[in-house]
Amino acid sequence: MSDQFDVVVIGGGPAGYPAAIRAAQNGLSVACIDGWKNVDGTYAFGGTCLNAGCIPSKALLESSELLHRAHVEFAEHGISTGTVTMDVAKMQARKTGIVKASTQGILGLFKAAKVTALQGRGRLLPGKRVEFTAADGTVRVLQAGSVILASGSTPTPLKSAPFDCERIVDSWGALEFTSVPQRLGVIGAGVIGLELGSVWRRLGAAVTVLEAMDAFLPMADEAVAKEAQKQFKKQGLDIRLGAKVSAAVVGSTGVAVTYDDAKGSHTVEFDRVVVAIGRRPYTDGLLADGTGIQLDARGFIEVDDECRTGVEGVYAVGDCVRGPMLAHKGKEEGVMVADLIAGHYGHVNYATIPSVIYTAPEMAWVGTTEQQVKASGRAYKVGSFPFLASGRARAMEAAQGFAKVIAAVDDDTILGVHIIGPMAGELIAEAVLAMEYSATTEDLQRTIHAHPTLSEALHEAALAADKRAIDYPNR
């Protein structure tokens, strides 16, 4: 096998593997190195997303949501089922099957695209050379025309509650529980805390979420965050804000977590604790001396808007560089860079990256929040439509939440769309496309939406921005 490639990608997660495939589609010779190792010692492409992130978490969210619906919704439909229980081992086996099929699928995609898949560790050397250490310890040095660094991120540890991988775990550990903890503590009310807290709550755990900040979901539009907090409270998620964890002591019966808030110091005992306080870029062992690659103060690889590192022919994409840590953001960066290397047009519109939180109700948004628009001083208008007024949402027994459109008064441009409610993560795609095409609310208003669908909520919210909603009183 040649040790010379047009492109060598280090990292086979959702940023790296699409970069490798697009580079190959562009007629370049490509190798993709990935070192992800599962607990059983096997290597798997797909990175955090496929092995321990997006995919397994969504599998468990789906299973636990079905159980929850069987418990609380079926009776409304007139369905009686007797006692419905969850076989946790079977649920986990289903999840593992989905993960395996997805990660092996990447090998299939690589084969079809003629990407050379290399499982082991990669290290960038000066001169666009990459040292590859295979699983069996053999070392090769590859010469690349261009190198794409896509090494991802890892969970941020908390000094006062260090991982012991048994009682105190990270998000990966929380995806692998083999039984439902009776008392689950979650440190961090961010995306992971809420998604995985929801999973185990629906399966029967008493879940307490300790969040250091006083505000709940500060990155979301305030109206969405407020509605979410209300719904999570109803579901029994005990979210405590302004809670600063100072100690976590592991004993024979559980973990005693001490935290301080405005009311003083408290100690709560949990069977297990998940620490989900954010993730940090992972670059351990990635860069040999003398490569010239710069890291910023937080450890991210420094890049420009087109993911160039400043070292000729070396790019970096995904979680290891600035910007939101999202699989779709990494994917678009990987594809952009692969196109730029081939001399094609490449671009990522960072202003229209959608965010989705896959709880129930789901939350999704794109663009600016109302608070950000207000702070900018630009005159704006807002249209909202509650799912309570959506025939489809009511038929689905999912009439919580709303869709909200924020637009500029001067030229009607859509500035942000915020949805909390059923299938919000799917509905947001229309808003992303609208913003990508610089659409106005009038464009959305004049677009025909099928009836009865959830998408009508976005249509009505756009109409409401000009006080023309039909299915809900305009305010």
Site residues, ligand FAD (CB under 6 A): 10-16, 33-36, 47-49, 53-54, 57, 121-122, 150-153, 171, 192, 282, 285-286, 318-319, 325-328, 330, 358
Instruction: Please report the DSSP string for 411-422 in residue order.
Output: T-BEEEEEEEET
Instruction: Give the range of 107-115, 138-146, 206-214, 362-370 binding ligand NAD by CB under 6 A.
Output: 206-214
Q: What residue 19 binds from ligand FAD, ligand NAD, none (CB within 5 to 8 A, per partner kind)?
A: none
For ligand NAD, the closer CB: 57 or 390 = 57
Indicate whether 28 belongs to the interface with ligand NAD (CB under 6 A). no
Residues 340-359 as x/- pattern, contact with ligand NAD by CB under 6 A: ----------------xxx-
Q: Which residues pair with 367 in a beta bridge?
A: 416
Per partner kind, with CB cut-offs from 5 to 8 A, the member of ligand FAD, ligand NAD, none near residue 271 is: none
Partner whose footprint covers residue 35, from ligand FAD, ligand NAD, none (CB < 5 to 8 Å by kind): ligand FAD
Q: Which of 266, 344, 347, 451 is catalytic?
A: 451
Residue 213 binds: one of ligand FAD, ligand NAD, none (C-beta under 5 to 8 A by kind): ligand NAD
- Cα 87 off chain centre by: 27
365 contacts: CB under 8 Å, gap ≥ 6: 220, 221, 224, 354, 355, 416, 417, 418, 419, 428
Cα 237 to Cα 201: distance, rounded to the nearest angstrom: 7
**Beta carbons within 8 Å of 296's beta carbon, 6+ residues apart:** 302, 322
CA distance 441 to 446: 9
Among ligand FAD, ligand NAD, none, partner that 158 touches (CB below 5 to 8 angstroms by kind):
ligand NAD
Shortest-Cβ-distance residue relative to ligand NAD: 190
Examine residue 325 and tell whether it contacts ligand NAD (CB under 6 A): yes
Q: Which two tokens stand for residue 57?
A: 């978490």
Phi, psi of 406 (to 5 degrees): -115, 130
Question: 54-72 and 191-202 are packed helices; what angle lies between their axes, rounded to 10 degrees?
Answer: 40
Listed ranges 25-33, 273-281, 337-345, 456-464: which one lies at the site for ligand NAD (CB under 6 A): 273-281
Determine the 3-state secondary structure of 201 from DSSP: helix
Question: Binding to ligand NAD by residue 228, rule CB under 6 A?
Answer: no
Q: Letter for the amino acid at 382?
A: V
Q: Does 15 bind ligand NAD (CB under 6 A)?
A: no
**Measured from the CB of residue 66, what is the shortest distance to ligand FAD in angstroms?**
18
- Contact code string over 138-177 relative to ligand NAD, x by CB under 6 A: --------------------x-------------------
Q: Which does 319 bind (CB under 5 to 8 A by kind): ligand FAD, ligand NAD, none?
A: ligand FAD
Looking at residues 275 to 294 of the shown chain, list those that interact with ligand NAD (rule: CB under 6 A): 276-279
Judged by beta carbon distances under 5 to 8 A according to partner kind, the member of ligand NAD, ligand FAD, none in contact with residue 330 is: ligand FAD
- For residues 366 and 353, the answer to whether their CB atoms sit within 8 Å is yes
Q: Is residue 189 at the binding interface for ligand NAD, with CB under 6 A as the rule? A: yes
Contact flag: residue 188 with ligand NAD (CB under 6 A) = yes
Place of tokens 């993960």: 99
Residue 326 is a binding residue for ligand NAD (CB under 6 A): yes
Nearer to ligand FAD, 49 or 180 (CB): 49
SS3 of residue 196 by DSSP: helix
Query: Which of 191, 406 has the CB closer to ligand NAD?
Result: 191
Element (H, E) at 112: helix 88-113
Q: Residue 336 gets which letter from DSSP? A: H
Instruction: Give residue 176's identity as a one-letter amino acid code.
Output: E
Q: How many helices (H) and strands (E) does the chain have?
A: 14, 21
Judged by CB under 6 A, the stretch of 59-67, 211-219, 330-338, 461-469 that binds ligand NAD is 211-219
188: left (phi over 0), alpha (psi -120 to 50) or beta: left
3-class SS of residue 398: coil
451 counts as catalytic: yes
Look at the block and give the residue holding tokens 């600063």. 244
β-bridge partners, 10 = 33, 149
Which distant-in-sequence residues (6+ apart) come within 8 Å of 426 by Cβ? none
User: What are the Cα distances from residue 32, in Å, to 5, 93, 376?
Assistant: 10, 29, 43
CB of 428 to ligand NAD, least distance (A): 12
Q: Which of ligand FAD, ligand NAD, none does residue 211 bind (CB under 5 to 8 Å by kind)?
A: ligand NAD
Question: Which residues sit at the interface with ligand NAD, rule CB under 6 A?
Answer: 158, 187-193, 195, 210-213, 245, 276-279, 324-326, 356-358
Please identify every residue annotated as catalytic: 451
